[in-house]
Amino acid sequence: MNRPATPLHAPLPELAPRAIPAAFMQALQARFGSQCATAQIVREQHGRDESAYAAMPPPDAVVFAESTQDVSDALQLAHQHAVPVIAFGAGSSLEGHLLAVQGGISLDVSRMNQVLSVNADDLTVTVQAGVTRKQLNEAVKSTGLFFPIDPGADATLGGMCATRASGTNAVRYGTMRENVLALQVVMADGSVVRTGSRAKKSSAGYDLTRLMVGSEGTLGIITEVTVKLYPLPEAVSAAICSFPSIEAAVRTVIQTIQLGVPIARVELIDANSVRMVNRYAKLGLREEPLLLMEFHGSPTGVQEQAQTVQDIARELGGNDFEWASTPEERTRLWTARHNALFAAIASRPGCKAISTDTCVPISRLADCLLDSVAEADASGIPYFLVGHVGDGNFHFGYLIDPDSTDERARAEQLNQSLVQRAIQMQGTCSGEHGVGLHKMGFLLEEAGAPALAVMRAIKQALDPHNILNPGKIFSL
């Protein structure tokens, strides 16, 4: 880490939009007919996401793929004409992944929403990339199994693969990295590749599955996804514990993890966030920092886990656990947690949220987080703080007036300071949202130039015309 300090946060890359050849548009429309939209409103819907970036010119067209063949045909054309292609699922990126920085087409896979095969006896399911996490869980409900990965949004499985998503259950069940068994991917030239198998483990060749997971649409477009499922736990208990300080809450989490308690979910919600979700969802929670926890296991196992954590919490000044006694009450709490972003945005009408996403080794969590809280408090920028703290991952959302250059700059300065702190602690700039546009400078700082050179070499080998989501993750 002795590299000279560089400006960490990259603004929008200064890439000229590419000329879209008329022959390409003609061929595209001939092939896709009404599946190809050029209406302004459709293009605009596909040229933005949940990030705080200001609007920029949208993609030149939107193709609604209905099959792998559609994706392959669109990519063959784009490859031939060197036209950018940006895969689109639910549009819930927080990092600018969907912005058409060089124009081109948005390839919307949301119509590819078939659950292809539920293999309950093997605890696996295969779906098309446009299936969302909620739809997936609905589809497997009757089997007694569930899919745990739950980013805030009801994202598509394809998008969740592409950003290596995780969420509140990752502390126990892992992230997309650990839970994807196999993929079908269309490569830049339109060739269709299957990666992995339904075997639980494999040493057969390069791990193309995990190369594609987290590649943010820059190496291929994911069309089918096979993931692991888990038996619904015999017993589930959810509890809230409020604390006199963020520090007490965080130290409770650190000790819980270090003891190896197999807690299923442990989310930090700061007092700001509690106020916001209280107002948004009429929850009436005590407006103090709190942990929202869930325990999975046998009835005795759940009791043992909860007792251990309650003991730790009490020693650190935490209050008695308040239990969510019914499944409905549990769902209400977790929905509130998932809606924290929307509650925050609603708290300052017209604002946008600049979200941070650092993740650090658990022993450094308190240091990293508390210093950043102090900086955020001092800045005067309204913010909320939530986190998958069991993994060492947390999110500040700085609520800025998007028209205020000053607020944006101050928020980005807070973000930059936090990221530098996390990297110094051997952590990462992104726990689960991906790099997109927003963290390109951070990635260079974190990974270093030699690792970036390897990533570039792979990108150039697999996408020689740089058509797949160009201008994202790193510059070429």
Looking only at residues 95 through 124 of this chain, which bind its own copies when binding is defined by CB under 8 A? 119, 121-124
**Burial of 326 from C-beta contacts in 10 A (0-12 / 13-18 / 19+):** exposed
* One of 10, 161, 290, 429 touching its own copies (CB under 8 A): 429
Cβ closer to its own copies: 19 or 235? 235
User: Taking CB under 8 A as the rule, does residue 146 contact its own copies?
Assistant: no
Of 97, 395, 421, 433, the one binding its own copies (CB under 8 A) is 433
Among 58, 103, 152, 431, indicate the residue that binds its own copies (CB under 8 A).
431
Nearer to its own copies, 33 or 205 (CB): 205
Among 30, 374, 451, 476, binds its own copies (CB under 8 A): 451
Residue 117: DSSP 8-state:
E
DSSP for 321-368 reads -EEE-SHHHHHHHHHHHHTHHHHHHHHSTT-EEEEP--B--GGGHHHH
Q: How far is the CB of 378 from its own copies (least distance, A)?
A: 26
Q: Which of residues 283-322 bind its own copies (CB under 8 A)?
A: 297-298, 300-301, 304
- Binders of its own copies in range 201-240 (CB under 8 A): 201-208, 210-211, 213-215, 219, 230-231, 233
Q: How many residues bind its own copies (CB under 8 A)?
A: 91
Q: At its nearest, how many Å lie between its own copies and the CB of residue 70?
A: 18
Give 250 or 473: the residue with its C-beta nearer to its own copies: 473
The only residue of 107, 131, 165, 418 in contact with its own copies, by rule CB under 8 A = 165
Residues contacting residue 404 through CB under 8 Å, at least 6 positions apart:
none
Residue 274, C-beta contacts closer than 8 angstroms, at least 6 positions apart: 285, 286, 287, 288, 289, 290
**Taking CB under 8 A as the rule, does residue 2 contact its own copies?**
no
The interface with its own copies within residues 123-142 (CB under 8 A) comprises 123-124
Chosen residue from 264, 435, 467, 468 binding its own copies by CB under 8 A: 435
What token pair was written down for 85? 């292609």
| Closest by Cα among 23, 198, 29 to 118 | 198
Q: Are 49 and 56 in contact (CB under 8 A)?
A: no
**Would you say 412 or 463 has its CB closer to its own copies?**
463
Which C-beta is closer to its own copies: that of 408 or that of 438?
438
CA nearest 288: which of 323, 253, 319? Answer: 319
Phi, psi of 277 (to 5 degrees): -70, -30
Q: Give the shortest CB-250-to-its own copies separation in angstroms.
A: 14
Q: At what angle do helices 449-462 and 440-447 cross, to 10 degrees?
A: 120
Verify binding: residue 380, its own copies, rule CB under 8 A.
Answer: no
Give the integer Cα–Cα distance in Å for 191 and 403: 44
* Contact call for residues 59 and 43 (beta carbons, < 8 A): yes
Applying CB under 8 A, which part among 235-243, 347-355, 406-414, 420-428 lies near its own copies?
A: 420-428
Nearest distance, CB of residue 382 and its own copies, angstroms: 26
359 binds its own copies (CB under 8 A): yes
Applying CB under 8 A, among 174, 247, 319, 348 the residue interacting with its own copies is 174
| Burial environment of residue 282 by CB neighbours within 10 A (0 to 12, 13 to 18, 19 or more) | exposed
Interatomic CA distance for residues 435 and 258, integer angstroms: 29
C-beta atoms surrounding 327 within 10 Å: 10
Instruction: Kindly state the smallest distance separating residue 92's Cβ from its own copies, in Å.
Output: 14
Q: Does 57 bind its own copies (CB under 8 A)?
A: no
Return the structure tokens found at 334: 């977790």
Q: Cβ 398 to its own copies, closest distance in Å?
A: 20
Site for its own copies in 258-287 (CB under 8 A): 258-260
Cα separation values, 252 from 109, 221, 314, 366, Å? 42, 41, 9, 10
Nearest to 8 by CA among 435, 430, 442: 442
Residue 460 interacts with its own copies (CB under 8 A): yes or no: yes
Give the range of 38-46, 133-141, 376-384, 452-460 binding its own copies by CB under 8 A: 452-460
Which of the stretches 174-182, 272-280, 285-293, 343-351 binds its own copies when contact is defined by CB under 8 A? 174-182
- Please return the burial class of 33, using the count of CB atoms within 10 Å of its CB with bins 0-12, 13-18 and 19+: exposed
Place of tokens 């605009």: 44
Stretch that binds its own copies, among 21-29, 106-114, 272-280, 426-434 (CB under 8 A): 426-434
Binding segment toward its own copies, per CB under 8 A, in 20-28, 42-50, 103-111, 430-438: 430-438
What tokens were used for 292? Answer: 């929202």
Between 36 and 192, CB nearer to its own copies = 192
Span near its own copies by CB under 8 A; candidates 2-10, 74-82, 189-197, 401-409: 189-197
Told to check if 198 binds its own copies by CB under 8 A, we report yes
Query: CA-to-CA distance for 46 and 90, rounded, in angstroms?
Result: 10
Tell me the closest approach of the beta carbon of residue 133 to its own copies, in angstroms.
Answer: 16
Please tell me whether residue 69 binds its own copies under the rule CB under 8 A: no
Spatial separation of the C-alpha atoms in residues 66 and 170, rounded to whole Å:
31
